[in-house]
Amino acid sequence: MCAAIVVSLTIPAGIAQAHGTDAPDDLPEAELRAYEAEVLGPEHAAEHAEQRRDERRELRRWRAMTLRERRQALRGERRRSRLLARRTAARAPASEIGRWTHGPFALPRSFAIHAVLLPTGKVLYWGFPPEPPNVGNGTLWDPSKGYGPAAFTNVPPPVVDPDGAGPQPPGVAPIYCSGQSLLPNGEVLVTGGNLVLPNRSDPAYPEWAGLNRAFTFNPWTERWTQQPQMSDGRWYPTQVMLADGRTITMGGYGDQAPGKIFNYDLEVFQPGSGSESVGSFSLHPEVTLPTGLLYPHMFMLPDERVAVAGPLPKHAALIDARDPGKPITWTELPRSLEQRNGGNAVLEPGGPRGSWKVTMLGGIGGLPLPDGSRLPSETTETIDLRHPERGWKAGSPLNISRDYQNTVLLPDRSMVTVGGGYGENEEDGVYRIDSDGARRQVEVYDPDSRKWRLGPAQMEDRGYHATAVLLPDGRVFSGGDNKHPLEPNGENSLTDTAEIYSPPYLFKGRRPVIKKAPKRAGWNQRIKVRTKGPRATTAVLMAPAATTHGNDMNQRLVPLRTKVKKVTGRKGKKRGYKGLEVRTPPSPGVAPPGYYMLFVLNGKGVPSVAKWVQLGG
C-alpha cells in the first residue's frame, strides 16, 4: 500500500502530503492518471487516484465546516497528539527512552544555527547575533568546563566586505546559511553564507542571495583561514568529502541580484598541504545540475560515488567524481515518494563493509491547506543503492510529524530525532511550532524492531534553525532556534540556550573504558584497543556531526570487525580479559579520511567514552 499520502479523519491533513510524481499541478484527472501510470505503474497510480478522491472528500467536508467546527477539529487533533505523546513518555523508564539531564543553559554571543563537533571534543557553533544585521559569529563550547561562561570562547570568522562595491560595510563574515563539513586533517570547511538581508542590506536584493566566500577553522589553534572565493555565491549549499580528501560543494542561491537565483554549478575544494594552508576550488562545467537545490542531502557510498537525496522527489542522483582526471558525471535515481523540505536524511548504519541505504524522514511537502498552511510529514522512506532500480520504499513512520528536526546517529546503532517544527503558515513561516509542545519530545529508533518510540520532552522548542550533535561521552547536545522562546513583548528570542539529552544506553549500568587506543590508523589495518571495566564486545567509528537546517553533512557510523583478546601467560595459558583486536574499515569509501570517535560497547550496548582516531593520518 502506498504510504505517500496520509488522510486525517478530522482535518484534511492529506492535502499537505506530496503525491510524489512531480506532475504539473494543472493536469486534468484523466491526464494525471495516465501520467502517473507511465511513471509509477498502473497499480501505484490507482492508489494515488484513490487517495486524491479521499483528499477531495475531506476538503469538501472541511469547507462545509463553520469556523467554530474547524477550530474544534484542530484542537481535537492537537489534544490527541499531546495525550498520546505524554502518556507514552510517562510510562517508559530512562533505560528505554533516555532522559534530558541538563539545561537549558545559555549559549552566548550567537544562535546555534550551525553546530560542528570538533576533534578536540569542543562544539563550534555559529549563526548571527541579534544586532548588528548581516554579520556572522563563532563560539566554542568546551563540555569539559561545564555550562557557565568560562566554558565558552569567542572565535569570530574574519572581517570581510561581503558585497564589494555594494552598500554593505565590512563586517564579520556572515557565514550563516552556509555548508560545513570536516577535512582529513580535522579542520572545518565552511562554504557560502548570507550575502544580504532582503530589502535591508541592499535595495537591489529583495530576495535572499549567497556569499561566495569560504573559510577553514583549525580546532587546535582555534583560528580561521580565509580560502579562495568560489565562482558564485551559495546560500543553503551542501558539501560532502570524497574518498581522496577533496570536498564537493553544490546547491543554494547564487549572488546575483535580485536574489533567489539558483547556483547550478558544482565545485570541488582541494585542501592545502598542511595545517591552516590555503587550498583551491575547481569549477566543473561538465556537470550542470538539472534542478535548483537548497540543502540537498549527500552521502558518499562504499564505491566512492556520492548519493544525492531530497528534499524534492526529483532530487535523487549519483555523482561520480572518483577520478580527478575524468569529468564528473550525474546519474539520476528513481524519484522519492514525498517532498521533504526541512526533512532529515541519514546513511543508515550498515556492516563493516559500509552502508548503501539512505533514509529520509519527515519534512514539509505537498499541497497547502485551505488556510494556506502546510503540515509536516511523519513518514520515512529508504532506498538501497545496491539496487537503485527498486526505488524508494516506505519505512516505519515517526509518531509525530516534524520538519527541521535533527536526527542523530548513536553508537549502539540506534538513532534519536530531536525537536522539529509544525510545518509553515502565513504568520510564522517555517518557524511555526505546535502549541502543546508535543514536538519537544524525542523519538528513539530501535534498529532491531525498526520502530520509533516517543521519549522525554526538552524544556524549549527546537524547530527551524535548531541543531543537535552527538558528544564524545555519548550524550546529545541540542541548541538553536532563534525565534523561541519568544521575548515577553512577543518578539523573537534575543538569546539562545542548549539542553543535554542522555540516551537510554546511559541508564543500563557501568560503561566500559578505553585505556589505550592508537591515535592514527590506516584502512584495513588490525589495531589493539585496551579496555577495562565491563567487558567490551564490539566497537564502532563515528564521524563527528556538522549540521544545520536539519541537514548533517558529516555524521557516519561504521561498525568494526572485533575479536575479544585475552592475556596469554606461560605455556599459552589464558590469564584474563585484555581488550579488543579491531579491524579498521576496508577502504576510504566506507570511512573517508579524517577524525573519528572510537566507541567500544558491552553486550548491553552501553558505550565507552570515545577516543579520537585519525583514519588515514
Rounded to an integer, the average pLDDT of 54-61 is 69
Q: What are the cell numbers at 39? A: 511513471
Please determine, for residue 73, whether its predicted confidence score (pLDDT) is greater than 80: no
Report pLDDT for 3. Answer: 34
- Cα dihedral sign, 490-492-496-501: positive
pLDDT band at 547 (very low <50, low <70, confident <90, very high): very high
Report the range of poorest mean pLDDT among 49-63, 116-130, 320-334, 335-349: 49-63
Query: What is the helix (H) or strand (E) element at residue 35, kind and residue range?
Result: helix 29-40
Please determine, for residue 49, whether its predicted confidence score (pLDDT) is greater than 70: yes
List the one residue out of 214, 223, 202, 217 whose CA is nearest residue 115: 217
Region of 411 on the Ramachandran plot (φ > 0 left; ψ -120 to 50 alpha; else beta): alpha
Report pLDDT for 5. Answer: 30
Residue type, 595: Y
Report pLDDT for 558. Answer: 98
List the one residue out of 306, 617, 599 whose CA is nearest residue 470: 599
Report the range of poorest mean pLDDT among 11-15, 409-413, 526-530, 584-588: 11-15
In three-state secondary structure terms, 303 is coil
List the one residue out of 188, 124, 184, 275 whose CA is nearest residue 614: 184
Rounded to an integer, the average pLDDT of 211-236 is 98
In three-state secondary structure terms, 89 is helix
Domain with CATH 2.60.40.10 in the chain: 513-615
Helices 42-64 + 29-40 axis angle, to 10: 140
Report pLDDT for 30. Answer: 80
For 497, residues 6+ apart whose C-beta sits below 8 A from its C-beta are 103, 104, 105, 106, 107, 460, 479
pLDDT band at 570 (very low <50, low <70, confident <90, very high): low
Q: What is the DSSP letter of 421?
A: B
Q: What is the DSSP letter of 351?
A: B
Rounded to an integer, the average pLDDT of 127-154 is 93
Q: How far apart (Å, rounded) are the C-alpha atoms in residues 340 and 365?
A: 5
Q: How far apart (Å, rounded) are the C-alpha atoms in residues 25 and 12?
A: 18
Report pLDDT for 8. Answer: 34
Q: How far apart (Å, rounded) are the C-alpha atoms in residues 101 and 499?
A: 8
Please determine, for residue 217, whether its predicted confidence score (pLDDT) is greater than 70: yes
Give the mean pLDDT of the chain: 89
Please determine, for residue 614, whether its predicted confidence score (pLDDT) is greater than 60: yes
CATH code linked to domain 103-295: 2.130.10.80
Check residues 489 and 153 and name the one with the higher pLDDT: 153
Q: How far apart (Å, rounded) are the C-alpha atoms in residues 287 and 289?
A: 6
Q: What is the DSSP letter of 595?
A: E
Report pLDDT for 26. Answer: 54
Check residues 296 and 575 and name the one with the higher pLDDT: 296
Helical H segments across 41-140, by residue range: 42-64, 67-91, 94-97
* Cis, bond preceding 296 (omega within 30 deg of 0): no
Rounded to an integer, the average pLDDT of 133-156 is 96
Report pLDDT for 268. Answer: 98
Report yes or no: 294 and 548 within 8 Å, Cβ to Cβ.
Answer: no
Helices (H) and strands (E) in the chain, counts: 4, 40
The pTM assigned to this predicted structure is 0.85
Q: For 372-409, give the DSSP string.
A: S-B-BB--EEEEETTSGGG--EE-PPPSS-BBS-EEEE
The pairing of strands 123-126 and 139-141 is antiparallel
Please determine, for residue 6, whether its predicted confidence score (pLDDT) is greater than 90: no
Please determine, for residue 83, whether its predicted confidence score (pLDDT) is greater than 60: no
- Cα dihedral sign, 291-297-303-305: positive
Q: How far apart (Å, rounded) are the C-alpha atoms in residues 495 and 493?
A: 6
- CA angle 425-426-428, nearest 5°? 70
Region of 490 on the Ramachandran plot (φ > 0 left; ψ -120 to 50 alpha; else beta): left
Fold topology of 513-615: Immunoglobulin-like (2.60.40)
| CB count in 10 Å sphere of residue 378 | 17
Report yes or no: 190 and 242 within 8 Å, Cβ to Cβ.
Answer: no
Please determine, for residue 378, whether its predicted confidence score (pLDDT) is greater than 60: yes
Report pLDDT for 138. Answer: 97
| CB count in 10 Å sphere of residue 487 | 10
Report yes or no: 278 and 227 within 8 Å, Cβ to Cβ.
Answer: yes
Report pLDDT for 289. Answer: 84
Report pLDDT for 366. Answer: 80
Please determine, for residue 477, whether its predicted confidence score (pLDDT) is greater than 70: yes
Report pLDDT for 240. Answer: 98
List the one residue out of 602, 599, 350 whose CA is nearest residue 613: 599
pLDDT band at 305 (very low <50, low <70, confident <90, very high): very high
Instruction: Tell me the longest C-alpha to C-alpha distance in the chain.
Output: 88
Report pLDDT for 77. Answer: 55
* Cα 183 to Cα 148, 270, 409, 590, distances in angstroms: 30, 10, 20, 16
Q: What percentage of the chain has pLDDT greater than the value 90?
A: 77
Report the range of poorest mean pLDDT among 220-224, 367-371, 412-416: 367-371
pLDDT tens readout for residues 8-38: 333 333 333 333 344 444 567 787 777 666 6
For 213, residues 6+ apart whose C-beta sits below 8 A from its C-beta are 160, 162, 173, 175, 192, 193, 226, 227, 229, 230
Query: What is the helix (H) or strand (E) element at residue 39, kind and residue range?
Result: helix 29-40
Check residues 448 and 84 and name the one with the higher pLDDT: 448
Q: How far apart (Å, rounded) are the C-alpha atoms in residues 463 and 432?
A: 8
Report pLDDT for 356. Answer: 98
Rounded to an integer, the average pLDDT of 572-601 is 89
Domain with CATH 2.130.10.80 in the chain: 103-295
Strand ranges inside 484-525, DSSP E: 496-502, 513-516, 520-521
pLDDT tens readout for residues 491-526: 888 999 999 999 999 999 999 999 999 999 999 999
Report pLDDT for 446. Answer: 97
